[in-house]
Amino acid sequence: MTDTPSPTLREVQSIVDRWIRDYGVRYFSPLTNMAQLTEEVGEVARVMARTYGDQSAKSTDDLSKEHLADELADVLWVLACIANQTDCDLTEALERNIAKKTARDKFRHLSNPKLYNHES
């Protein structure tokens, strides 16, 4: 652990974005995950599929960016709950995870032609 203060969530988002720009070429397509968390991720998937994918929207669908942000916040909320309940420090885990990905992938994505010339 470094002597610098723990980052805020906003700073974490900035660190991830910088990592993507430096090593990842672009953001990967979104994927889904698990349980109460799976339910929330499914709600994100529904908005994404109907806004950015091929699925037709229903007249009752809220496809606004605000709704998507709210669904993403639900996912973040459940992740924080799980971390709190299981005594996991997400800041420390993220710092370790970024170091692992950087060591493993810092050049791998740069040589992947599939990641260039694609709208993200």
pLDDT tens profile 40-99: 899 999 999 999 989 899 999 898 889 999 999 888 877 766 666 667 788 888 888 999
Q: Using CA atoms, how far apart are residues 100 and 92, in angstroms rounded to an integer?
A: 12
pTM of the model: 0.63
Report yes or no: 59 and 83 within 8 Å, Cβ to Cβ: no
117, pLDDT greater than 70: yes
Structure confidence at residue 29 as a pLDDT band (50, 70, 90):
very low
Q: Using CA atoms, how far apart are residues 54 and 56, in angstroms rounded to an integer?
A: 6
Give the chain's largest Cα–Cα span: 52
Report yes or no: 63 and 48 within 8 Å, Cβ to Cβ: no
Which residue is associated with the tokens 């929207």?
A: 57
Long-range contacts of 11-18, Cβ-Cβ distance < 8 Å, separation of 24 or more: 12/91, 12/94, 15/94, 15/98, 16/98
Phi, psi of 29 (to 5 degrees): -65, 150
